[in-house]
Amino acid sequence: MLETLQQLPIDPILGLSAECRADPNPSKIDLTVGVYMDEQGLCPVFEAVQRAQQALVAEETSKAYMPPAGDEAFNLGMRRLVLGADSAALRDERVTSLQTTGGCGALRIGAEVIHAAAPRARVFVSDPSWPVHIPLLGSVGLQFQTYRYYDPASHGVDFDAMVADLKSAGAGDVVLLHGCCHNPSGADLSLQQWGAIADMAERQGFVPFVDMAYQGLGDGLERDAAGLRLLAQRLPEVLIAASCSKNMGLYRERTGLAIFVCRDAANARILLGHGLVAARRVYSMPPSHGALLAGRVLADDALTALWRSELAAMCERIKGLRSSLREKLEGACGRDFGFIECEKGMFSFLGLTAQQTLRLRREHSVYLLDSSRINVAGVNAGNIDYLADAVAQVL
Ligand code: LMR
């Protein structure tokens, strides 16, 4: 039976990262996977997380299963972090959540619940989007439609095209939105544009599903969540997939939360039941370690303050890298790279062809995605000149 299976193409992100790891060139640069790296090229553990971990290891007395919805402190802390401590939806108890295996687990649980409610729902996904969105949500059996989002000519959001394409989304449909730091483009909606999407959702009846994977890495924790909070305040239903991979550096701990903003408290209880049944069907119980750490950080004022300051420093460094990269690329290539400074979070497209990115890999050991998406956080003072010169040579 199994011998009938054919070789699959490599993963468009993880495959290139593996190729880079195997490259013996000491000058190689890995700008593939969205992982924050410091000046030394290392992905650090937050000091606040380390302190929480020391306390947890000293105090933990059991490895029995977690409760099905996960750690209570984590759920409470994350709901407040994402929706805002003063959220009216939280106050009205029309929000429920369950801890998931990373943001991906939250996307999957959200898709399962959508499918249970509306098996024929179409999910509208931005073009471009994270390449795993469609396979991850699609494995549940949902249908997809793309909406135009990024305009390579202006290096920004083509909002008129987005609105035109979303005109056909109606009741029973879902629109997947990136909460901030759009992956792969780094081009985000303005608050006014979020407001226009809320108007459309109200008028047309579609439900937004917000992937919040990078809160805190664009313009800070509060501003990054402003669009999502506006939707939650105005609309009866919003699904959210939140992740602590990037903003707490808990990548390998698979720490995420599926949040359902519902019509009322009774409906929230029903939604939780569906989320739990979906999780039981897929992986039974959530993992504990990352959520226990994040829960401790979010429940302790001193640890929260430390974590917020570490995250703010990370965010500032990414902004600084964006400015330096713009300057170096413009100096080396003699063309405008101003868009890199305007975009948010870890990613930007360099605007290269697939052939040019292949040459960067083959001739310079510089690894970025075929779409020319780079992880800005992989740039540092030691590799920025090499990177700019390599780009100039393939342009
Ligand atoms: C990325 O886009 O590089 C990250 O979200 C990591 C991943 O799983 O692809």
Measured in Å, residue 266 CA sits from the centre of ligand 1 at 36
Mean pLDDT on 376-388: 98
pLDDT at 249: 98
CB-CB contact of 141 with 113 (8 Å): no
Where does ligand 1 bind, in terms of residues with CB under 6 Å?
13, 33-34, 130, 132, 183
Which is catalytic among the residues 30, 130, 328, 332? 130
Measured in Å, residue 131 CA sits from the centre of ligand 1 at 9
Which is catalytic among the residues 30, 71, 211, 300? 211
Atom of ligand 1 nearest to the CA of 132: 9
pLDDT tens profile 137-155: 999 999 999 999 999 999 9
User: Which amino acid does the sequence have at 313?
Assistant: A
DSSP assigned state of 381: T
Residue 268 tokens, joined: 């929230």
pLDDT at 160: 98
CB-CB contact of 110 with 258 (8 Å): yes
Which is catalytic among the residues 213, 258, 268, 278? 213
CB-CB contact of 169 with 122 (8 Å): yes
Phi, psi at 366, each rounded to 5°: -105, 120
% pLDDT > 90, the chain? 100
Q: Per-residue confidence at 192, pLDDT binned at 50, 70, 90?
A: very high
pLDDT tens profile 253-262: 999 999 999 9
CB-CB contact of 325 with 384 (8 Å): yes
Atom of ligand 1 nearest to the CA of 213: 5
- Substitution candidate for ligand 1 out of 37, 132, 185, 374 with most atoms within 8 A of CB: 132
pLDDT tens profile 17-70: 999 999 999 999 999 999 999 999 999 999 999 999 999 999 999 999 999 999
pLDDT tens profile 67-119: 999 999 999 999 999 999 999 999 999 999 999 999 999 999 999 999 999 99
Phi, psi at 378, each rounded to 5°: -90, -5
- Substitution candidate for ligand 1 out of 130, 183, 368 with most atoms within 8 A of CB: 130
Say how many C-beta atoms besides its own lie within 10 A of residue 67's C-beta: 14
Sign of CA pseudo-dihedral 173, 179, 185, 187: positive
pLDDT tens profile 281-325: 999 999 999 999 999 999 999 999 999 999 999 999 999 999 999
* Distances 227 to 37, 60, 177, 260, 313 between C-alpha atoms, Å: 27, 38, 10, 16, 23
Q: Whose CA is nearest to atom 5 of ligand 1?
A: 34
The domains found in the chain, sorted by start residue, are 10-45+311-394 (3.90.1150.10), 65-299 (3.40.640.10)
pLDDT at 175: 98
State how far the Cα of 393 lies from the Cα of 365, in Å rounded to an integer: 13
pLDDT at 353: 97
pLDDT at 245: 98
CB-CB contact of 352 with 187 (8 Å): no
Q: Per-residue confidence at 124, pLDDT binned at 50, 70, 90?
A: very high
State how far the Cα of 249 lies from the Cα of 46, in Å rounded to an integer: 7
381 catalytic residue (yes or no): no
Measured in Å, residue 236 CA sits from the centre of ligand 1 at 30
Atom of ligand 1 nearest to the CA of 14: 9
State how far the Cα of 352 lies from the Cα of 387, in Å rounded to an integer: 14
% pLDDT > 70, the chain? 100
Q: Whose CA is nearest to atom 2 of ligand 1?
A: 34
Q: Whose CA is nearest to atom 1 of ligand 1?
A: 34
Rg value, the chain, Cα: 21
246 catalytic residue (yes or no): yes
The reported pTM is 0.97
173 catalytic residue (yes or no): no
